[in-house]
Amino acid sequence: MRPAAVGFHCPEEGAAASRRGATSRRPINSLGGQARIRHPGLITQLLIGLCVAAYALQGLPGLSGSGPDNTFTLDYSLYGPGIAANDEYYRLLTAAFLHAGVLHILFNMYALYLLGSQLEQILGRVRYLALFVVCAIGGNTLSYLINGWNTFSVGASTAVFGFFAAYYVIARRLRADTSAILIIVGINLIITFTIARIDKWGHIGGLVTGLVVGVIYAYVPTRRGWAQAVAVGAVLAALLLAAALRTSAVTSTPLSAIVQ
């Protein structure tokens, strides 16, 4: 057996596959991800790049001395009145690319790089990107459901917490050691509930969404990719429906009652 990009390969079987004219160019793991020699972790790098670019458009809060609430931030943050009054549901996703300070973005990008690079290799680019999008929306949706008109939040931590949960489920499926990820989740949950300004519902929502999507990717057979896509699409549709119902409830409440 010889070490390969994904697991180990038998030289005799590899030679036989070559003689049969096998068409696969890259090894495929048990969850459908492919080992890529060129541009590994490309989607993770693009996501980090988008977060950094958005942070610059926010005026580099915490680094330049300016506050985080400039016009760009207000236009794309998770802002309850924008969703409830103007149906700006894109905020459920765009808020994940904004950050409130230099430490905020540094911690989130570090976690995104560590977990994202591994998950992208395991799941493949398309499913990995879907995981990020659905977890970000899931965390922000729960925050909106709980806080309603008073919702205001930014940060990629909704998706990062989803990565924590998905990584745990996938590691269990592959029978890998999960003690380290459990410790990391525990530490981050303690931080979430002890620091007042952190959007704890966003973190919890991302964690739960990542758990659900992780189960879909880990236990629905990869040969039934259509079933995985339908299931993940159903999760996304349920989140958007929940947000729409929350908007209906918020807008039906008199503004005077909300202010009180």
Within a domain: 17? no
pLDDT at 22: 45
> Mean pLDDT score of the chain, rounded to an integer?
87
The pLDDT tens digits for 131-172 are: 999 999 999 999 999 999 999 999 999 999 999 999 999 999
Asked if the model's pLDDT at residue 128 lies above 60, the reply is yes
In contact, 205 and 142? CB cutoff 8 Å: yes
Verify whether residue 157 is a known catalytic residue: yes
Asked if the model's pLDDT at residue 235 lies above 70, the reply is yes
172: tokens are 């269990």
pLDDT at 197: 85
pLDDT at 64: 72
Within a domain: 23? no
pLDDT at 260: 46
Angle at 196 between CA 111 and CA 193, to 5 degrees: 60
59: tokens are 């005026």
pLDDT at 15: 53
Within a domain: 7? no
Give the CATH number for residue 128. Answer: 1.20.1540.10
Q: Can you tell me which residue has the tokens 């929940």? A: 242
pLDDT band at 119 (very low <50, low <70, confident <90, very high): very high
Within a domain: 102? yes
65 CB-near residues (< 8 Å, 6+ apart): none
Mean pLDDT of 117-123: 94
The number of angstroms, rounded, from the C-alpha of 145 to the middle of its chain's C-alpha atoms is 19
By percentage, how much of the chain surpasses pLDDT 70? 80
Asked if the model's pLDDT at residue 130 lies above 50, the reply is yes
Give the number of domains in the chain. Answer: 1
Phi, psi values for residue 3, rounded to 5°: -60, 140
Within a domain: 208? yes
Within a domain: 87? yes
Mean pLDDT of 178-186: 93
The pLDDT tens digits for 80-110 are: 999 999 999 999 999 999 999 999 999 999 9
pLDDT band at 211 (very low <50, low <70, confident <90, very high): very high
The pLDDT tens digits for 219-230 are: 999 888 899 999
Within a domain: 1? no
pLDDT at 23: 45
The pLDDT tens digits for 34-48 are: 555 566 789 999 999
Integer Cα distance of 163 and 74 in angstroms: 26
Select which of 99, 104, 143, 203 is catalytic. 203
Nearest Cα to Cα of residue 30 among 179, 163, 219:
219
Mean pLDDT of 111-140: 96
Within a domain: 182? yes
Provide the domain limits for residue 73. Answer: 47-251
- Report which of residues 69 and 260 the model is more confident about: 69
Mean pLDDT of 6-11: 52
Select which of 24, 143, 157, 256 is catalytic. 157
pLDDT at 223: 86
Mean pLDDT of 113-123: 94
DSSP β-bridge partners for residue 9: 2
Mean pLDDT of 61-72: 78
Verify whether residue 117 is a known catalytic residue: no
